[in-house]
Structure 1
Amino acid sequence: MIVTLIVLSEAGFWVLLAAGLTLRYAARRPRAGTAVLLCEPLLEVVLLVVTAIDLRDGAEPDWKHELAAVCIGFTVGLGPGPATIRWVDARVAHRFAGGPKPVMPPKYGRARAVREWRTAGRWTLAAVIAIALLQAAAWYVGQDGDTGSLRMWQQRMLWVIGVNLIVAGSYTLFPKTAPAPTREQAREQESTREHEV
């Protein structure tokens, strides 16, 4: 039942996203579209409640409960969530509603390092939420239950945090520099400067 609910929760996000954006842009009802998009967190609450009830009813914690905790953590930290909704919304608005062209992420220098730290922050948030939910499950089961697999998943989430911090740190210590402009690009830049003067 929990696995089915996880699948329905993930699929439900995309259904709500499509319905919300359709209401917002095709039906020209932005408030109704926003209301539908705000229903998405309810899917995660239902998954959390069903998982807690299953554990309360005596189920031994196993991969289904661990997967539910990780899915909830990653949904809150990474999306599908507000960041994903903003990303899709900007592209739909540009394509179908005459909105501005979406800003492309930076590729070089300090701006890229800042972007990588934000990404690492989101992954860290996702992993910390998963660790907290796994810890809550361990406390909920108590000392009589087998919590070894829950602890193992907590360690995996610590690895996720570590890898993301290393990647972000590498962009800070060794920033990627923009390639040198080609001769044609240099001529165009020089020509533009001459016209500005």
Structure 2
Amino acid sequence: MDDNGGNALLLGVIIGCEIGFWVLLLAGLAARYLLRMRRTGAALLVSVPLVDLVLLAATVIDLRGGATAHFTHGLAAAYIGFSVAFGHSMIRWADARFAHRFAGGPPPPKPPKYGMARARYEWREFGKAFVAWAISCALLLGAVVLVGDVERTRELLVWVGRLTMVLGIWALWPISYTIWPAKPKDGAPPLERERVH
């Protein structure tokens, strides 16, 4: 298969993995809360990370098969990194909403809007982004070493730069909220005003 065909196939695998993530997540939550099948729901939710392994295997097989790395190979590494770093919190987010809607659970908590509480929230999110960056870069550099041909893997090194730039831009949010903490407007409800403290 030529490089263009391989890229299209890998892009299809990435899209399939994203669809698979949400299908497994929703099926697990539906089994847990709608069908009251807690074990089945737990098994489906535990299997959500398997989609990352499928994508990793497809990428490694393609590169080891002689493909020259292109945009889609870097995208695959970035997808895996962000899926690992943010996947658990996305599952918790969806679980809280299903529990509230279908099992009488408490309303899902909302992120703080003001003050240092908001800054801490933004730093936590940045921490996840840093983990995603680290995993993605490790996969990209690992692929460069695995293939052993800098010319064929040059695009993967370009992706390290792209992801580093994204992480640098992301850092602006927690830094700005730390230096200039958000304050409620004068007309904000009392509860929101109290969150500043």
What TM-score do the two structures reach when normalised by structure 1? Answer: 0.87
SS in 2 for 1:40: coil
Task: Determine the structure 1 residue equivalent to 2:156.
Answer: 150
The question of whether the paired residues in 1 share the 8 Å contact of 2:69 and 2:154 is answered with no
SS in 1 for 2:49: helix
Matches within 5 A, 1:4-153: 4-78=12-86, 81-143=87-149, 145-153=151-159
CA deviation vs aligned residue, 1:53-84 (integer Å, no higher than 9, x gap): 11111111111211111111111122xx2111
Unaligned runs of 5+ in 1: 187-197
- Cα distance in 1 between the residues matched to 2:89 and 2:15: 20
Measured after TM superposition, the shift of residue 20 of structure 1 is 0.5
Measured after TM superposition, the shift of residue 161 of structure 1 is 1.5
The question of whether the paired residues in 2 share the 8 Å contact of 1:127 and 1:157 is answered with yes
Task: Determine the structure 2 residue equivalent to 1:166.
Answer: 172
Amino acid at match of 2:37: R
Measured after TM superposition, the shift of residue 131 of structure 1 is 1.0
Amino acid at match of 2:25: L
CA deviation vs aligned residue, 1:2-30 (integer Å, no higher than 9, x gap): 11111110000111111101110111111
The question of whether the paired residues in 1 share the 8 Å contact of 2:27 and 2:44 is answered with yes
Identity across matched positions, percent: 46
C-alpha RMSD over aligned residues: 1.5
Measured after TM superposition, the shift of residue 40 of structure 1 is 0.9
Amino acid at match of 1:142: G
Unaligned runs of 5+ in 2: 1-8, 191-197
Amino acid at match of 2:143: A
Amino acid at match of 2:161: Q
- Cα distance in 2 between the residues matched to 1:153 and 1:9: 20
Task: Determine the structure 2 residue equivalent to 1:190.
Answer: none
- Cα distance in 1 between the residues matched to 2:128 and 2:155: 25
Larger radius of gyration: 1
SS in 2 for 1:150: helix
- After superposing on structure 2, the runs of 4+ consecutive aligned residues of structure 1 that deviate more than 2 Å are 143-148, 179-182
Task: Determine the structure 2 residue equivalent to 1:189.
Answer: none
Measured after TM superposition, the shift of residue 111 of structure 1 is 0.4
Q: How many residues in Structure 1 have an aligned counterpart in Structure 2?
A: 182
The question of whether the paired residues in 2 share the 8 Å contact of 1:9 and 1:47 is answered with yes
Task: Determine the structure 2 residue equivalent to 1:195.
Answer: none
